[in-house]
């Protein structure tokens, strides 16, 4: 069934009014005119265009031009859909947990021509894992020609997961990341993507950053047969004598790579992983590019 309604949020409840009825002309609201789970899904997504205030609603089906372009298993329950302007919505309850559904979505949407967005073509240093490489999280963004497909997991039932599809026609910018213009300086550092599921910059699992910045830095070089641990022990005794207390953050691992730079001069890249305050699972990574010792 297809109807036109206006979604309204009133006193914390989901309500709808039929735009072509006498009830609408009298501004009378009727709760539960569409299934609550469909109304809740539609109210929770960003409104891409002004026309989204009065979308066309499909109950128990999806917009016809989407049915063959989205992955809808034969044993899924179609909750409904909506359309307004350049945006079309489909809400589907799929059997299985989120882990199962996310794997199915990546595989089946790929067969239908949807691909993850390309990674940014510029930058450097440590960066979040792009969707194209992250197979452990719920997929949220796919691209096809000039269209963008956004996904959001909804309510998790005992044996099913609700998935909201949103297809936006036209160049949304999400599938065409900016690139560096000619002549712009490029980063000295290579781009390194963080491990899947490891980003902890935001949210309840964030690893805190220290409030204070670097006060000073100095270095020296020694010719000695002592090991790295022996050198640290040597300095540690002096620091203790002068009132310094050893911290809990220690170097966990350090590795070095080498590669000539663009002029052919030798260079080294040093990756260091240390513990970070706030949680035993927090790690701090440092990348340093230097000339090899003696060069």
> In which band, very low, low, confident or very high, does the pLDDT at 7 lie, cut at 50, 70 and 90?
very low
> In which band, very low, low, confident or very high, does the pLDDT at 29 lie, cut at 50, 70 and 90?
very low
| Antiparallel, parallel or unpaired: β 160-169 and 147-156 | antiparallel
Is the per-residue pLDDT at 23 higher than 50? no
Q: What is the pLDDT of residues 239-259, one digit of tens each?
A: 788 787 776 656 678 888 898
Can you read off the two tokens belonging to residue 110? 């790929």
The pLDDT of 6-28, averaged and rounded, is 39
Q: What is the set of domains in the chain, with CATH numbers?
A: 2-169 (no CATH), 226-295 (3.30.360)
- Of 51-60, 159-168, 251-260, which gets the smallest average pLDDT? 51-60
Q: What local confidence, expressed as pLDDT, does residue 109 receive?
A: 93
Q: What local confidence, expressed as pLDDT, does residue 203 receive?
A: 54
* Residue partners of 55: CB distance under 8 A and separation at least 6: 4, 5, 7, 42, 82, 83, 84, 89
Higher pLDDT residue, 195 or 269?
A: 269
DSSP string, 192-220: EEPPTT---SSSTTPPPPPSS--------
Q: What local confidence, expressed as pLDDT, does residue 269 receive?
A: 86
Residues facing 166 on adjacent strands? 89, 150
Q: What local confidence, expressed as pLDDT, does residue 9 receive?
A: 38
The pLDDT of 253-277, averaged and rounded, is 83
Highest mean pLDDT among 87-91, 134-138, 214-218: 87-91
Is the per-residue pLDDT at 72 higher than 90? yes
Distances 23 to 3, 12, 176, 191 between C-alpha atoms, Å:
14, 21, 44, 58
Averaged pLDDT score across all residues of the chain: 74
Is the per-residue pLDDT at 181 higher than 80? no
Region class of 96: left (phi > 0), else alpha (psi between -120 and 50), else beta:
left
């Amino acid at each position: 069934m297809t109807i036109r309604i206006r979604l309204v949020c009133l006193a914390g409840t989901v309500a709808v009014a039929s735009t072509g009825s006498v009830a609408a002309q009298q501004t009378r609201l009727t709760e539960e005119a569409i299934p609550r789970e469909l109304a809740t899904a539609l109210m929770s997504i960003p409104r891409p265009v002004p026309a989204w205030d009065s979308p066309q609603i499909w109950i128990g089906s999806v917009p016809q031009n989407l049915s063959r372009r989205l992955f809808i298993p034969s044993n899924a329950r179609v909750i409904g859909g909506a359309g307004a302007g350049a945006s079309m919505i489909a809400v589907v309850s799929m059997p299985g947990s989120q882990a199962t559904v996310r794997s199915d979505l990546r595989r089946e949407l790929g067969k239908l021509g949807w691909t993850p967005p390309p990674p940014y073509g510029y930058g450097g240093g440590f960066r979040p894992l792009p969707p194209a490489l992250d197979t452990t999280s719920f997929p949220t963004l796919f691209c096809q020609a000039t269209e963008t497909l956004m996904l959001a997991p909804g309510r998790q039932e005992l044996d099913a997961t609700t998935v909201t599809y949103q297809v936006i026609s036209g160049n949304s910018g999400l599938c065409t990341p900016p690139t560096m213009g000619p002549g712009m300086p490029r980063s000295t550092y290579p781009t390194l993507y963080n491990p899947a599921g490891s980003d902890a910059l935001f949210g309840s699992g964030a690893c805190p950053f220290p409030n204070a910045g670097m006060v000073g830095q100095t270095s020296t070089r020694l010719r000695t047969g002592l090991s790295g641990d022996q050198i640290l022990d040597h300095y540690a005794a002096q620091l203790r004598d002068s009132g310094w207390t050893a911290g809990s953050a220690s170097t966990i691992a350090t590795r070095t790579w080498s590669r000539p730079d663009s002029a052919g001069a030798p260079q080294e890249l040093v990756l260091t992983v240390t513990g970070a305050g706030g949680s035993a699972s927090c790690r701090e990574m440092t990348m340093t590019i230097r000339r090899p010792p003696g060069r």
